[in-house]
Amino acid sequence: MVDTHCHLSYKDYDNLEEVIEKMKNHIIIISGCDRSSNYEVMELCQKYSNIYGCLGIHPESVSSATEDDLAYIEKNLDNSKIVGIGEIGLDYYWDKDNKEIQKKWFNRQIELAKKYNKPIVVHSRDAIQDTYEILRDSKHNKIDIHCYSSSLEMAREFIKLGAKLGIGGVLTFKNSDKLKEVVKNVDLQHLILETDSPYLTPEPYRGKKNEPYNVYYVALKIAEIKNISIDTVLEETTNNALTLFDLNFKL
């Protein structure tokens, strides 16, 4: 299994070693959001062989971001454990007043990804149309739309750009009919698994802290919705993730 998007930090887990140990036969891709989380991404992926990292400035962090933060990301892109840029994107739910600043940082980080031929992990909340237009215009095609939550119609547009849809714990929630519709109608080749730990814990553990191992329960739900075996889901989504993040080995 590959958890293609989560946040692991010593401040969020007092049993971090244990959480990582549980994934020892699997891969975890952690994303940074700002200066300090990017430092921690570097630290954790050097320390654990099954952890890879993405570095990025999250839209909620752009107001305090500096040129140095961008330079830090660029400087570390040649590290073999850094496999992408993320999490980046647009968030008009928390912040509507700085749309132009968010777009500027999103575009600059996409440019960096293009320059180094890296995938991007994209956060989009209440901003799906602008996210789509920026990605379309960028002509970058290594894209993970993390925690995809928009319509089936929009999903098809993103897939045309070459994007993979990151499917997480929300799929297991009772009120997720729209996402279930997406998963049912989109071919497995376009889907990857994620947890967004420590948030968005899937059923049957909703209410507890999320952890990467719980991608299993997301896969189980995908298998149920698509009426296929869990092994097929795990194998295919793992291959999709390994291809997108250019991790060239077999698990």
Of 62-70, 129-137, 158-166, 194-202: span binding Ni ion (CB under 5 A): 194-202
Q: Are 76 and 41 in contact (CB under 8 A)?
A: no
Residue nearest to Ni ion (CB): 196
Rank residues 40 and 196 by Cβ distance to Ni ion and give the closer one.
196
Helix then strand then coil, % of the chain, to nearest 5: 45, 15, 35
- Closest to 88 in 3D by CA, of 73, 71, 67: 73
State yes or no: residue 40 binds Ni ion (CB under 5 A): no
Written as six digits, the tokens of 236 are 């295919």
Question: Which secondary-structure segment (H or E) carries 31?
Answer: strand 27-31
Rank residues 34 and 235 by Cβ distance to Ni ion and give the closer one.
34
Rank residues 196 and 211 by Cβ distance to Ni ion and give the closer one.
196
Of 42-50, 93-101, 196-204, 215-223: span binding Ni ion (CB under 5 A): 196-204
Q: Out of 196, 197, 202, 238, which residue is the one contacting Ni ion (CB under 5 A)?
A: 196
In the complex, minimum distance from the CB of residue 248 to Ni ion, in angstroms, rounded to a whole number: 25
In the complex, minimum distance from the CB of residue 37 to Ni ion, in angstroms, rounded to a whole number: 10
Instruction: Provide the β-strand partners of residue 55.
Output: 85
In the complex, minimum distance from the CB of residue 7 to Ni ion, in angstroms, rounded to a whole number: 6
Of 38-46, 109-117, 150-158, 188-196: span binding Ni ion (CB under 5 A): 188-196
Written as six digits, the tokens of 180 are 């279930």
In the complex, minimum distance from the CB of residue 196 to Ni ion, in angstroms, rounded to a whole number: 5
Q: Residue 46, Cα to own-chain centre: how many angstroms?
A: 20
State yes or no: residue 91 binds Ni ion (CB under 5 A): no
Give the chain's radius of gyration (CA, Å): 17
**Residue 202 φ/ψ region, left for φ over 0, alpha for ψ in the -120 to 50 degree band, beta for the rest:** beta
In the complex, minimum distance from the CB of residue 126 to Ni ion, in angstroms, rounded to a whole number: 16
Written as six digits, the tokens of 163 are 């994007």
Of 8-16, 18-26, 167-175, 190-198: span binding Ni ion (CB under 5 A): 190-198
Q: Which residues contact 16 (CB under 8 A, 6 or more apart)?
A: 8, 9, 10
Chain residues binding Ni ion by CB under 5 A are 196
